[in-house]
Structure 1
């Protein structure tokens, strides 16, 4: 049961709907602060609704909304879950299961630093029907909790969106 919940938490990137579209100057980033985290995101992005388990917040590019589905295709979802077991073991088991599914293909994996925290990064391709997405998941352990910053875009757009994802990643911080 634990393994199923963790897999659902971290590998299921539920569709994200865009809500509250507003316009602001492109020079200023917006800031999210809540649930003991803070980060910046692009000024022309919006807070979005996410159906992914354990989501703290999702931000999305409203220009990426698929008119057929109504869901944004360029999103960053921040998730938090209580750590049940060893951080590295949970991470490794999650991706061992994920990559056994032929819809997922590993691109890269490594260690990175987010603020003063050591983190794990996994980038992979996901095929959902006729849609191919590229996702980058950054796992951060803080005490007995795991935070995941999940960046997702169409595979053909991911590299173009990297600078926007970096705004979130490079400004991500814990408060409290």
Structure 2
């Protein structure tokens, strides 16, 4: 009888140890440290967290794009992404930027949430926040426009509305550390 109790206790102890080790490994996987990576392309250098990565852009003016790795599809395009574009322009910069959004206002799949002047890293810029219903569902977008050396630069963050606020900190981090040479 004592041997059966001893065997039963050993089995219970082994099961408990197994469960504790599985929980510890699972916990370690969920708490991986995120490091900061650097990407340089086309005279632009950014820093971003390692749970994001270089991805495909959908614009011809794109210099670089990064996406949250877990949101990238089979074509390499992220549902949660930051795209940096460089566009030539003529005339007054503010008019150029505003004309872009004047065209969007006529398209019912876009809704302007807010717009205005902002200062980013001691540089004047224009900020536009809008939603769109094109493609795979409703997304929210935030675009910061600024001019340097006769070129228009726009840094755009896009995400499904349900993911927008949770990932906005990455856009803010990229924006605060961007370097344009």
Q: TM-score, normalised by structure 1?
A: 0.78
Which residue in the other structure is 1:41 paired with? 48
Q: State the secondary structure of the residue aligned to 2:50.
A: coil
Q: CA deviation at 1:101?
A: 0.4
> Does residue 30 in structure 1 map to residue 37 in structure 2?
yes
Q: State the secondary structure of the residue aligned to 1:97.
A: helix
Which residue in the other structure is 1:112 paired with? 118
Which residue in the other structure is 1:59 paired with? 66
- Structure ID, larger Rg: 2
Higher relative contact order (CA 8 A, sep 6+): 1
Q: CA deviation at 1:87?
A: 0.6
Q: CA deviation at 1:110?
A: 1.9
Which segments of 5 or more consecutive residues in structure 1 lack a partner in the other structure?
Answer: 1-24
Q: TM-score, normalised by structure 2?
A: 0.76
Q: Output aligned runs, 1:158-169, within 5 Å.
A: 158-169=164-175
Alignment match of 1:152 (pick from 135, 153, 158): 158
Deviations 1:113-170 (A, max 9, x none): 2223211000000002560000011101012100000100001110011111111111
- RMSD (CA atoms): 1.8
Point out 4+ residue stretches in structure 1 off by more than 3 angstroms. none
Which segments of 5 or more consecutive residues in structure 2 lack a partner in the other structure?
Answer: 1-31
Q: Are residues 77 and 94 of structure 1, via their aligned partners in 2, closer, same or farther at CA, if it must alter by over 3 Å?
A: same
Which structure carries more strand by proportion? 1
The number of residues matched between the two structures is 150
CA contact (8 A) 1:38 1:173 kept: yes
Which structure carries more helix by proportion? 2
CA contact (8 A) 2:62 2:83 kept: yes
